[in-house]
A and B are shown apart, each in its own frame.
Chain A
């Protein structure tokens, strides 16, 4: 068995238009590396150069946001379903958003 991964519209250019692809890995990081070996470029859209999950995407394992499961260290099992969605966020002022992103990154790290 493998892990089913649901790909959002904006990233389907990396999967030949496929809405669902399969992959494998013991952690989310492993799964993303596995996907990237067949769908080159996908990893860069999910993981920052600093090696953390991008702020612009939400990733879920089954029904849980991976930010509450250890982010890239989240453990995966065969038969799990992973869903990727574009994070929907924004707002009037860049500096406030930057502060919110910074505090989110801190809380994400703290949760690991």
Chain B
């Protein structure tokens, strides 16, 4: 389960919409071990592509060092799919290198609604998890929990090249 503040989700969706039709990407950092995303860091998509994203390696070094200095870790790593569903591609699985992170995908293929889904990707195995949006600004107890259930919860892509 990913619990994330509505203001952060709104910022991620705004970033994805801004960069559409290119894919947008970024990180939400949080205190080490807290599993709580608190600091939204939009990243450049160095690939500037509609079908591929890649962190700029120098920006990533800077951001990862900054998280280290602040005793933070990447709690959420997000990117958008701009013409397809919010489900990890084989490429996403091959590259998933943060076993502790929630991989959040936003699909902006529909102009009016966003599909937001979250996954764990460990050793090539995708496990979907519910997203709990917390409305901290209004009422910390007022939460909305949902998960899109149209695909199996676990898919094994058998990434033999890793």
Q: Chain A interface (Cβ within 8 Å of chain B)?
A: 8-10, 56-58, 60, 63, 65, 67, 83, 85-94, 96-98, 100
**Residue on B with the closest CB to A44?**
B162
Asked if B57 contacts A86 (CB within 8 A), the reply is no
A4: min CB distance to chain B, Å:
14
Contacting A at CB under 8 A, from B81-125, are 81-84, 88-92, 94-100
Number of A-B contacts defined by CB within 8 Å:
101
Asked if B99 contacts A10 (CB within 8 A), the reply is yes
Asked if B52 contacts A60 (CB within 8 A), the reply is no
Asked if A96 contacts B99 (CB within 8 A), the reply is no
How far is it, in angstroms, between the C-alpha of A106 and the C-alpha of B77 when the chains are bound?
28
Asked if B98 contacts A89 (CB within 8 A), the reply is no
- Beyond known contacts A65-B61, A90-B91: 14 more, CB 8 A cutoff: A8-B97, A9-B100, A10-B98, A56-B95, A65-B57, A87-B97, A89-B52, A91-B89, A92-B81, A94-B91, A97-B91, A98-B91, A100-B47, A100-B52
